[in-house]
């Protein structure tokens, strides 16, 4: 039987994967956002994860199609779910998008079909939360009339070197035979290779600890930065010296946002709590990293006061708004933590980011973003994101004669900023 693939969710994860699958298989992308579908079908991806050239090639030469019409995906037999798995305001996992996508799958899946989940979850979600929805809606029996798998996404938004085909893929299936079949399909397009995990839960756990490990390591160097700043020691100098040892891990302090690193630890913590274990290190790391935005803001205000700069009605410029450099992705951006902390001081904030769609930023966060570098001078400048555009920017000249420059990303020369994270 010919494999016909449907990827549900055409965001930062789903679209690159769907485009890649289309080079080998009949592939259709499904997204409930009609505007998103319309934009993609004219050959442009607003997330910039897939170039116009590659997307148009997929549409014109490989028969790739995007749709918001559920009837157009009924004849597929290999469904891939790639929807967001956010957290709510209390940092609890929000499975609403995943349950919605499972409902969609249940409406179209047929006997013998396979559904593979890529969304980040804690161990057990695929089989305990998602599959029952598919069963209920479809009326089919799991592992008898339809099958499932889990292959966690590892896409790094904005990274043009480690694209989806160049990142090793973990795969798994609900039975050994299905696992092999899923692995074969992925390995046919993933040039970096695949790793077939023994069970779905193992694959789920592998994904959720990847980013939790990174989160904890960054939390450690963030704490070091706080300590060394009090001691008047340059954190970068310390890390460079320590990094001369072969087994020292090269992590740097910073803001931890985005759709993965700042979210996945909460999924793992929630899972641990369900089993009666309080994950102390994981949550301690989260508390440290979640507080770094406020720490940056408070450090700027303190230095302004030390330099005799009036804080009330002062003008502050923030360079960058996205959660990481060289991409328009603003999901869970921790720049907002800096913004919210500074707003308490009744000052004037300007945020400059050439990558951000101002309409999206206003809709999602209620903040104004400018894509043009302001011409006026500021009382404080915070370099928050390491966009390429900022690497050649003379940041200190953006400030007034008596001003503060805070380098969150270690982008400036040693003598240029007043403070570094």
Q: What is the pLDDT of residues 251-264, one digit of tens each?
A: 999 999 887 888 88
Q: State residue 89's pLDDT score.
A: 82
CB atoms within 10 A of CB 29: 30
Q: What is the share, in percent, of the chain residues with pLDDT greater than 90?
A: 84
Q: State residue 261's pLDDT score.
A: 83
The confidence band for 284, taking pLDDT boundaries of 50, 70 and 90, is very high
Q: What is the DSSP string of 269-312?
A: HHHHHHTT---HHHHHHHHHHHTHHHHHHHHHHHHHHHTT---T
CB atoms within 10 A of CB 297: 23
Catalytic residue, candidates 260, 271, 327, 330: 260
Joined tokens for residue 73: 């995906």
CB 58, CB 64: distance < 8 Å? yes
The confidence band for 159, taking pLDDT boundaries of 50, 70 and 90, is confident
- E strands present in 202-361: 315-319, 348-352
Is residue 221 classed as helix, strand or coil in its secondary structure?
A: helix
Residue 78, classified by CB atoms within 10 Å of its CB into exposed (0-12), middle (13-18) or buried (19+), is buried
Catalytic residue check, 260:
yes
Look at domain 4-207 and name its CATH class: alpha beta
**pLDDT of 170 higher than 80:** yes
Residues paired with residue 150 on neighbouring β-strands, in sequence order: 117
For the ranges 153-162, 229-238, 271-280, the lowest mean pLDDT is seen at: 153-162
pLDDT per residue as tens digits for the range 335-362:
999 999 999 999 999 999 999 999 999 9
pLDDT per residue as tens digits for the range 102-153:
999 999 999 999 999 999 999 999 999 999 999 999 999 999 999 999 999 9
Residues paired with residue 146 on neighbouring β-strands, in sequence order: 142
CB 375, CB 389: distance < 8 Å? no
Q: Which residues contact 96 (CB under 8 A, 6 or more apart)?
A: none
pLDDT per residue as tens digits for the range 199-244:
999 999 999 999 999 999 999 999 999 999 999 999 999 999 999 9
Q: State residue 303's pLDDT score.
A: 94
Joined tokens for residue 283: 């949550």
pTM here is 0.91
Domains 4-207 and 292-421 alike in fold: yes
Tell me how far the alpha carbon of residue 72 is from its chain's centroid. 29
Joined tokens for residue 263: 């979210």
**pLDDT of 59 higher than 80:** yes
- Following CA atoms 404, 410, 416, 418 in sequence, which dihedral angle do they give, to the nearest 10 degrees? 30
The confidence band for 333, taking pLDDT boundaries of 50, 70 and 90, is very high
**pLDDT of 175 higher than 90:** yes
Spatial distance between the Cα atoms of 72 and 40, rounded to a whole number of angstroms: 16
Cβ-count burial 232-267 (b if 16+ within 10 Å, e if not): eeebbebbeeeeeeeeeeebebbbbbbbbbbbbbbb
**pLDDT of 52 higher than 80:** yes
Number of C-alpha atoms within 13 angstroms, CB side, residue 68? Answer: 10
Spatial distance between the Cα atoms of 305 and 149, rounded to a whole number of angstroms: 57
- Following CA atoms 60, 66, 70, 72 in sequence, which dihedral angle do they give, to the nearest 10 degrees? 0
Alpha-helical runs (H) found in 51-117: 52-61, 96-108
**pLDDT of 414 higher than 80:** no
Query: What single DSSP character describes residue 128?
Result: I
The confidence band for 56, taking pLDDT boundaries of 50, 70 and 90, is very high
- Longest pairwise C-alpha distance within the chain: 75
Q: Which fold has domain 292-421?
A: Rossmann fold (3.40.50)
Domain boundary assignment for the chain: 4-207, 292-421
What's the residue count for the chain?
421
Q: State residue 413's pLDDT score.
A: 73
């Amino acid at each position: 039987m010919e494999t016909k693939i449907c990827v549900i969710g055409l965001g930062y994860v789903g679209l690159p994967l769907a485009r890649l699958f289309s080079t080998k298989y009949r592939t259709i992308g499904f997204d409930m956002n009609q505007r998103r579908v319309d934009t993609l079908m004219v050959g442009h991806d607003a997330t910039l994860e897939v170039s116009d050239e590659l997307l148009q090639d997929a549409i014109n030469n490989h028969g790739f199609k995007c749709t918001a019409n559920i009837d157009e995906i009924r004849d597929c037999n290999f469904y891939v779910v790639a929807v967001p798995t956010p957290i709510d305001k209390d940092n609890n996992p929000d499975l609403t998008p995943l349950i919605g996508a499972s409902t969609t799958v249940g409406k179209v899946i047929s006997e013998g079909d396979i559904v593979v989940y890529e969304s980040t979850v804690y161990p057990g979600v695929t089989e305990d939360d998602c599959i029952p929805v598919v069963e209920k809606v479809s009326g089919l029996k799991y592992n008898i009339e339809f099958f499932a798998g889990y292959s966690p996404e590892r896409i790094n938004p904005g990274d043009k070197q480690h694209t989806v085909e160049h990142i090793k893929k973990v795969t798994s299936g609900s039975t050994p035979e299905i696992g092999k079949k899923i692995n074969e399909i992925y390995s046919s397009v993933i040039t970096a290779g695949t790793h077939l995990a023994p069970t779905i839960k193992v694959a789920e756990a592998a994904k959720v600890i990847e980013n939790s490990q990174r989160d904890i390591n960054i939390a450690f160097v963030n704490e070091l930065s706080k300590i060394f700043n009090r001691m008047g020691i340059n954190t970068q100098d310390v890390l460079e010296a320590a990094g001369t040892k072969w087994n020292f891990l090269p992590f740097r302090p910073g803001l931890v946002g985005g759709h993965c690193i700042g979210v996945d630890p909460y999924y793992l913590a929630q899972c641990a709590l369900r089993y009666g274990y309080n994950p102390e290190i994981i949550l301690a790391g989260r508390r440290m990293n979640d507080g770094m935005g406020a720490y940056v803001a408070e450090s700027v205000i303190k230095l302004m006061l030390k330099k005799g700069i009036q804080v009330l009605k002062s003008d502050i410029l923030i360079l960058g708004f996205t959660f990481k450099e060289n991409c328009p992705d603003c999901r869970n951006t921790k720049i907002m933590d800096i913004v919210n902390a500074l707003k308490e001081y009744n000052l004037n904030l300007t945020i400059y980011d050439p990558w951000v769609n101002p309409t999206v930023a206003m809709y999602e966060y209620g903040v104004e973003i400018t894509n043009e570098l302001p011409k006026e001078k500021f009382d404080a400048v915070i370099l928050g994101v390491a966009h390429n555009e900022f690497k050649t920017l003379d940041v200190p000249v953006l400030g007034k004669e008596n001003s503060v420059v805070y380098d969150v990303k270690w982008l400036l020369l040693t003598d240029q900023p007043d403070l570094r994270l």
